Amino acid sequence: MENFSLFEKEEKNECKPFIKWVGGKGQLLPEISKLYPVELGKSINKYAEIFIGGGAVLFDILSKYKLDEVYISDKNLELINTYKTIRDDVDILIKSLKEMEEQYVPLNDEDRKVYYYEKRTEYNSLKINVEENNIRKAALFIFLNKTCFNGLYRVNKKGEYNVPMGAYKNPKICDEENLKNVFFSFKEREDYIC
């Protein structure tokens, strides 16, 4: 499991999950938020989430409370790589996502299928923790999430992503405003817990 630390800046930004995730809590936020401690953002100024997933609860809390320290982790290293990329290299990530969106959206169904499976093959060929691959891997992770069947993340026994293409007419691959809001909710920092 990999962990890292996020610190909020003074201004609060409205942000939401940038990916779909199985088990996401977005629809449950009205009920979950009733359970937040009244001391949150006051005497409680640290937040930790061990299975971050899409981050619905995290982003709700960051949008409402000033926290000094936020720690997130997940068993999925590809997911953690994507959060780190947003924290450290959001502009390059956005540029890559915009390029893929501009290439993918105008295609007909057959060409989209070819494009999707080419990107899935590229994604599976890249290894994370190789610095030059991390940003590309994160961009492909988001692209695949936005264009695959139902936003699923699934791998085979070899660890290869194997979700088929979805049938979205006009997928929003690059939500630039939300990605920047997520970025601004994280104060950039060199050290993090691994």
- Torsion angle of the four alpha carbons 52, 61, 144, 77, in this order, in degrees rounded to the nearest 10: -30
Asked whether residue 22 falls in the same domain as residue 59, the answer is yes
Domain of residue 31, residue span: 2-77+177-185
Residue 85 falls inside a structural domain: no
Asked whether residue 65 falls in the same domain as residue 99, the answer is no
Asked whether residue 164 falls in the same domain as residue 97, the answer is yes
pTM of the model: 0.89
Mean pLDDT of 34-49: 92
Residue 17 falls inside a structural domain: yes
Higher-confidence residue of 114 and 87: namely: 114
Is residue 152 scored above 70 in pLDDT? yes
Give the ranges where the chain is alpha helix by DSSP (H).
29-32, 56-64, 77-104, 109-125, 131-147, 176-185
Choice among 6-15, 105-114, 118-127, 128-137 with the minimum mean pLDDT: 6-15
